[in-house]
Amino acid sequence: MKLLLTGGSGFIGSNFVRVVLRDHPEYEILNVDALTYSGNPENLADVEDHPNYEFVHGNILDMELMSELMQRVDAVVHMAAESHVDRSIIDARPFVETNVLGTQTLLDALRKSDPDNTKTFIHVSTDEVFGDLPLDDKDLKFHEDTPFAPSSPYSSSKAGSDLVAMAYHHTFGMDVRITNCSNNFGAYQFPEKVIPLFVTNLIEGKKVPLYGDGQNVRDWLHVEDHNEAVMTVLEKGKAGERYCIGGNNERNNLELTHSILEIMGKGEEMIERVTDRLGHDRRYAIDATKLKTQLGWEPTRSAWPQALEATVKWYVDNESWWRNVKSGAYREYYAKQYGG
Ligand code: NAD
Ligand code: TDX
């Protein structure tokens, strides 16, 4: 079984490659990635010579290349995206291009190469397409039938791509399956996202910029649990179905920050309250009952605080990885975002 993985050189994609090569030896992976600012070949340095792994440098907007690659695979796991909310607030254009037009390009390329609809297309999406939840009703959670109400340019571009993907199932009968996952954490996450940003700032002796009142809630899931869920949907899921993936692990940002400070032996004075993110979603929470009862998936690697401790340790132990990443182009963005 050969998989086309898009965006495999990013955070979730590189962990997906590692999980599949380690735990699913019957699969081969063909990773196509444009190596944007968040795509880093170093994320896969330990597996680049693996016989079941191949890399192609390319953009998902390139119809000719995507059509060629589709001929060579049995299924597609689509992860390539512009992924950071704050960047989408600065410039939404690449989000619409890659997330919406890129997804449409892949679906058309697959449709041309597979007229009998034998190949599965998994569209890896986010819980942010559902908008946000209030803080005062803990029983409310997103599920597969929650209406879309995205609030940021990032989440609206992901919602657009979800709708296009599902339309190709309804219109052409393609085997499209969508996953909507909550916030991931783990190794190789680009240090613009809150956990690696805060951990690496603290190692560098810098303060951590906490947005607004710090009460915004996220449902944290270890990246390997997410990737196992995607494999479960590939192997046991159904065409035209949506699956919500979550860790049942809600924390507000202040709690998360205190946990990180405690693990790293740092004090409260390292928190710097900064202006809130525009349109900052209050709370995300996922009800993953469908995935559990229909496909038998449950998280096994997200136990808190142990999984957070192990993640912090990874950044402490892999300083050269994130120092390389934090240099160069990333610095310009950091200066624009935080003014320093
Ligand atoms: P990331 O930014 O770390 O990685 C994205 C990858 O896509 C990079 O390797 C990048 O080079 C590549 N890419 C970007 N544009 C491309 C293009 N036009 N052509 C080819 N490759 C391109 O993001 P991530 O956090 O690993 O997220 C992966 C996917 O999972 C995204 O679709 C995201 O929306 C989704 N997701 C992420 C989270 C999370 O918490 N990080 C949660 C739910 C869903
Ligand atoms: O400097 C910061 N300070 C801060 O308080 C940053 C970068 C973030 N935050 C807050 C904002 C959020 O409430 O931390 C929370 C998490 O922020 P991010 O790491 O930027 O993640 P989020 O915006 O929740 O989106 C993530 O989860 C869903 C991923 O980036 C998306 O790709 C995914 O779809």
pLDDT at 327: 84
99-143: pLDDT as tens digits: 999 999 999 999 999 999 999 999 999 999 999 999 999 999 999
What pTM did the predictor assign? Answer: 0.98
Q: Is 37 a catalytic residue?
A: no
Confirm whether the ipTM is greater than 0.85. yes
The listed CATH number (3.40.50.720, 3.40.50.10260, 3.40.50.11740, 3.40.50.2000) that belongs to domain 2-335: 3.40.50.720
Closest CA to 165 of 221, 86, 274, 81: 81
pLDDT at 329: 65
Q: How confident is the model at residue 44 (pLDDT cuts 50, 70, 90)?
A: very high
Q: How far apart are CA 109 and CA 228, in angstroms?
A: 26
Q: How confident is the model at residue 332 (pLDDT cuts 50, 70, 90)?
A: confident
For residue 58 the two structure tokens come to 């390319």
The β-bridge relationship of strands 250-252 and 217-219 is antiparallel
Q: How far apart are CA 174 and CA 137, in angstroms?
A: 38
Closest CA to 264 of 303, 311, 218, 217: 311
Q: Is 7 left (phi over 0), alpha (psi -120 to 50) or beta?
A: left
What DSSP string describes 291-315?
Answer: HHHHH----SS--TTHHHHHHHHHH
DSSP for residue 10: S
pLDDT at position 98 over 90 = yes
For residue 21 the two structure tokens come to 């090569």
Residue 334 amino acid letter: Y
Q: How far apart are CA 234 and CA 178, in angstroms?
A: 10
Residue 20 CB burial class (10 angstroms; 0-12, 13-18, ≥19): buried
Residues 6+ apart with CB under 8 A from 93: none
pLDDT at position 70 over 70 = yes
pLDDT at position 85 over 90 = yes
State which ligand 2 atom lies nearest to the alpha carbon of 256. Answer: 14
**Residues contacting ligand 1 via CB (< 6 Å):** 6-7, 9-13, 33-36, 38-39, 59-61, 79-83, 98, 102, 124, 126, 158, 181, 183-184, 190
Q: Is 154 a catalytic residue?
A: yes
The rounded Å distance from CA 272 to ligand 1 centre is 28
pLDDT at position 328 over 70 = no
The closest ligand to the CA of 61 turns out to be 1
**Is the Cβ–Cβ distance between 60 and 39 less than 8 Å?**
no
Mean pLDDT, the chain, whole residue set: 96
What DSSP string describes 102-113?
Answer: HHHHHHHHHHHH
Closest CA to 302 of 237, 233, 218: 218
- Spot the catalytic one: 128, 175, 192, 219: 128
The rounded Å distance from CA 143 to ligand 2 centre is 20
The closest ligand to the CA of 152 turns out to be 2
Mean pLDDT of 36-63: 96
174-190: pLDDT as tens digits: 999 999 999 999 999 99
Q: Is 317 a catalytic residue?
A: no
**Ligand 1 atom 10 nearest Cα:** 39
The rounded Å distance from CA 232 to ligand 1 centre is 20
pLDDT at position 340 over 70 = no
pLDDT at 112: 95
For residue 203 the two structure tokens come to 């190692």
